[in-house]
């Protein structure tokens, strides 16, 4: 009887521990990403204030572009260049190529990130295919731009940024009416 009570206490404690861990997983992940500089989150379209664009301490930086398809996405997805040397505070544009190599119409969604993560707040995209879902007809190929400005006030210890995109197939998640509206 005594052993049963101890076992029940241990199981209850383990259950509480698992729930606590699951509850804390997202904040722990956010802290991990902040410390390591991984998975910088990018919001929707943004602009730089006139104060930032008139900043005199502009400098050169290297921006790297990384494209990746989710394993279930059969499209070809690449950038016109793998890296670009830019001047902060100056608007830049890079083209990305999408090609639906299947015999069916599909819809894709791109999820962006910036590394190091703390550089994300200084990376301002004013135009990006990642703000919308992309419908491509069977065999269709399109080139879409990303227009951005890197804030001149980006910390000096950040010498380069990597802009990463992962492309997902979301066709099955949308209704026929939603797909037709794209």
Summarised one tens digit per residue, pLDDT across range 59-113 is 999 999 999 998 889 999 999 999 999 999 999 999 999 999 999 999 999 999 8
CATH number at residue 163: 2.60.370.10
Cα–Cα separations (whole angstroms), residue 125 to 39, 90, 93, 145, 171: 16, 12, 10, 10, 26
Q: Give the helix/strand (H/E) hosting 148.
A: strand 141-150
Residue with tokens 């990303």: 146
In a shared domain, residues 162 and 122: yes
Q: Give the helix/strand (H/E) hosting 154.
A: none
In a shared domain, residues 62 and 152: yes
Q: Which domain holds residue 99?
A: 39-181
Could you give the number of structural domains in the chain?
2
* DSSP sequence for 73-114: --SEEEES-SEEEEETTS-EEEEEEEE--SSS-EEEEEEEEE
Region of poorest pLDDT, from 25-29, 34-38, 121-125, 150-154 = 34-38
Q: Which two tokens stand for residue 159?
A: 């010498």
In a shared domain, residues 75 and 91: yes
Residue 28 CB coordination number (10 Å): 11
In a shared domain, residues 18 and 103: no
Residue with tokens 């992962």: 166
In a shared domain, residues 50 and 30: no
Residue with tokens 């996405």: 73
- The number of residues in the chain equals 182
Region of poorest pLDDT, from 13-17, 81-85, 163-167, 168-172 = 13-17
């Amino acid at each position: 009887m005594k052993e049963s009570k101890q076992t029940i206490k241990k199981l209850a404690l383990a259950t509480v521990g698992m729930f606590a861990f699951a509850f804390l997983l997202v904040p722990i992940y956010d802290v991990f990403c902040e410390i390591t500089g991984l998975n910088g989150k990018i919001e929707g379209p943004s602009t730089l204030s006139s104060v930032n664009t008139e900043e005199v301490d502009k400098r050169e930086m290297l921006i790297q572009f990384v494209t990746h398809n989710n394993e279930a996405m059969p499209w070809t997805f690449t950038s016109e260049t793998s890296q670009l040397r830019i001047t902060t505070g100056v608007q830049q544009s890079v083209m990305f190529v999408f090609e639906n190599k299947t015999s069916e119409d599909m819809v894709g969604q791109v999820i962006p990130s910036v590394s190091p993560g703390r550089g994300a707040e200084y990376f301002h995209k004013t135009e990006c295919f990642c703000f919308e879902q992309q419908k491509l007809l069977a065999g269709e190929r399109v080139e879409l731009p990303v227009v951005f400005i890197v804030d001149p006030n980006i910390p000096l210890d950040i010498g380069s940024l990597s802009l990463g995109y992962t492309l997902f197939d979301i066709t099955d998640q949308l209704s026929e009416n939603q797909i037709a509206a794209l």
